[in-house]
């Protein structure tokens, strides 16, 4: 039996799998608080993650009705890009800044300028650093918290911090490290040039943790943690990874041809590649996968975070919300929304604001506004899919995850806008499942003389056992809808160009 832990923005989830019965046998969840301010600040206390992990872990083992000491291994998935700054005692110096924090946009520009702008970033790192990546948070820490900077001993990401709590080891896995903005994704190593844009004194370099590969076991659970969780202190902890990397495993996206799309707080698109994208794209994150390949990824900042705003504005439950979407026609009678309520990452517009266009006396209705926000959020992902197409990444199927995937009307809109069949997974918590599968896989291949192909074959077999498609959600694009949306999407692009991209 293996445990997968996913520390997300809103909650921590734990699932348990049994590789003998080939079933998910238990799950648990516990919510987090979020520190949110109008200036773009998005922070959490790392202790909240530990408290939620403990609660969710106990719920999962109770749900499974098992003796927790029978759990063989654990892997952790975590929200990418967050900054956890520790002193020499392992204590947290400041609240963790999260992936969705845009307070450090000026610091990101400063780093880019020192690096030599976007072309230099692509040349040095294989991607363009953007606001939200860890690098700008580190410079922000140095500028505005000098006392904490002086005490800084180690920088971790959220999943690394939970690994540290579990094992006492401070390490970082290559896939998650890809999103720091300090890591060369092609050579899989730290970039001295990027580090020097923040600090030339070697203080930062020494604070970066040891890098580990995806197939490594990083240790066993500390005795005091084992007692808290009720597990054996001999329980192994695999490397784990970022939530997108674990989400790829948890959706079976470990071979070319599949695209995973998340309709979560943010929106993500990612696929599998045997090589990093070349030439590198300034808008596609050329991340390493937490398998043997790469995970080209696009992230947008406003999906359910945007739709929830309009849902709450009209005080609707989910049933009423979906009915409102269905009641409005395709294109919302000419109402178009650029849904940049939290700025935007793709395209890179960290300070952008949402825009509602096309309103008149006849179309100014709640249903049209609701549908227009949802369509705008979907168009932002279509923008990302177009970028994938330009990089010769074309899906034969899109696997849809996240809270928005539960809506049948939204699934149809996604299929029509993307002009691609979409399908959901029988088990929706892809990152937690991916972490559990990775734990079983990494621990299973230890002490075996396997080549890379043989390792990946075992991973594919595990994914086939635990990742099942929900055939009832298979949604095929409707030809007439596809035609209508192509025209509406062109209008969306013209507004995007007019208000942001041409400036």
Given a contact cutoff of 8 angstroms between Cβ atoms, the answer to whether 399 and 271 are in contact is no
List, in sequence order, every residue forming a beta bridge with 400; answer none if it has no partner: 261, 424
Q: Strands of 282-426 (E only): list them.
A: 285-288, 294-300, 336-338, 355-357, 397-401, 422-425
Cβ atoms within 10 Å, residue 247: 30
**Phi and psi at residue 49, in whole multiples of 5°?**
-65, -40
pLDDT of residue 503: 62
How far, in Å, CA of 251 to CA of 435, rounded? 11
pLDDT tier at 159 (50, 70, 90 boundaries)? very high
Q: What percent of the chain stands above pLDDT 70?
A: 100
How far, in Å, CA of 234 to CA of 288, rounded? 30
Per-residue pLDDT at 343 exceeds 70: yes
Please work out, in degrees rounded to the nearest 5, the angle formed at the alpha carbon of residue 340 by the alpha carbons of 334 and 342: 155
How far, in Å, CA of 260 to CA of 246, rounded? 12
How far, in Å, CA of 216 to CA of 177, rounded? 15
How far, in Å, CA of 272 to CA of 470, rounded? 21
pLDDT of residue 453: 86
pLDDT tier at 228 (50, 70, 90 boundaries)? very high
Binding site listing: 80-81
Given a contact cutoff of 8 angstroms between Cβ atoms, the answer to whether 136 and 104 are in contact is yes
The residues assigned a catalytic role are 243
Please write the tens of the pLDDT for every residue from 271-329. Answer: 998 889 888 888 898 899 998 899 999 989 899 999 999 999 999 999 999 999 999 99
List, in sequence order, every residue forming a beta bridge with 285; answer none if it has no partner: 297
Per-residue pLDDT at 402 exceeds 80: yes
pLDDT of residue 394: 86
Whether the model clears a pTM of 0.75, i.e. scores above it, the answer is yes
76-86 mean pLDDT: 97
Cα-based distances in Å from 173 to 77, 94, 238, 284: 11, 23, 10, 20
pLDDT tier at 428 (50, 70, 90 boundaries)? confident
Work out the end-to-end distance of the chain between its first and last CA atoms, rounded to an integer number of angstroms: 55
Binding site listing for substrate: 80-81
């Amino acid at each position: 039996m293996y445990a997968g832990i996913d520390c997300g923005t809103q909650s921590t989830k734990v699932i348990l799998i049994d590789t003998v019965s080939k079933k998910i046998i238990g799950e648990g969840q516990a919510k987090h608080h979020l520190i949110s301010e109008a200036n773009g600040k998005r922070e959490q206390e790392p202790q909240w993650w530990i408290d939620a992990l403990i609660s969710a872990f106990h719920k999962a083992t109770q749900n499974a009705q098992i003796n927790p000491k029978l759990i063989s291994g654990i892997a952790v998935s975590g929200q990418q890009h967050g900054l956890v700054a520790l002193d020499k005692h392992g204590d947290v110096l400041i609240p963790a800044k999260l992936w969705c924090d845009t307070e450090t946009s000026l610091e990101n520009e400063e780093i880019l300028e020192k690096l030599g702008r976007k072309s230099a970033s692509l040349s040095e790192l294989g991607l363009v650093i953007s606001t939200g990546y860890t690098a700008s948070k580190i410079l922000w820490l140095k500028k505005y918290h000098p006392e904490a900077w002086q005490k800084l001993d180690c920088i971790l990401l959220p999943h690394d911090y939970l690994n540290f709590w579990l094992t006492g080891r401070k390490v970082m896995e290559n896939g998650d490290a890809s999103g720091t903005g300090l890591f060369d994704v092609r050579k899989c190593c730290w970039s001295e040039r990027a580090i020097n844009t923040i600090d030339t004194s070697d203080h930062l370099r020494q604070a970066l943790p040891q890098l580990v590969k995806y197939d490594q076991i990083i240790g066993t659970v500390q005795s005091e943690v084992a007692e808290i969780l009720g597990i054996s202190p001999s329980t192994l902890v695999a490397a784990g990874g970022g939530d997108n990397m674990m989400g790829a495993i948890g959706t079976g996206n470990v071979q070319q041809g599949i695209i995973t799309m998340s309709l979560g707080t943010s929106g993500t698109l990612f696929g599998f590649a045997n090589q990093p994208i070349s030439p590198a794209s300034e808008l596609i994150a050329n991340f390493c996968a937490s398998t043997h390949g790469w995970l080209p990824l696009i992230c947008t900042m406003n999906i359910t975070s945007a739709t929830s705003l309009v849902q709450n504005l009209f005080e609707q439950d989910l049933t009423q919300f979906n009915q409102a979407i269905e009641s409005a026609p395709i294109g919302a009678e000419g109402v178009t929304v650029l849904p940049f309520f939290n700025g935007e990452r793709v395209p890179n517009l960290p300070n952008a604001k949402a825009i509602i266009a096309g309103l008149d006396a006849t179309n100014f209705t709640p249903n049209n506004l609701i549908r227009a926000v949802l369509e705008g959020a979907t168009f932002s992902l279509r923008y990302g899919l177009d970028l994938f197409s330009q990089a010769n990444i074309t899906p034969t199927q899109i696997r849809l995850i996240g809270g928005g995937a539960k809506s049948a009307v939204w699934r149809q809109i996604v299929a029509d806008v993307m002009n691609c069949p979409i399908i959901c997974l029988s088990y929706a918590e892809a990152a937690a499942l991916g972490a559990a599968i990775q734990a079983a896989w990494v621990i299973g291949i230890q002490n075996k003389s396997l080549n890379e192909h043989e390792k990946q074959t075992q991973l594919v077999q595990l994914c086939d056992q635990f990742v099942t498609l929900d055939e009832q959600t298979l949604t095929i694009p409707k030809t007439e809808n596809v035609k209508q949306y192509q025209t509406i999407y062109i209008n969306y692009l013209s507004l995007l160009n007019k208000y942001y991209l041409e400036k």
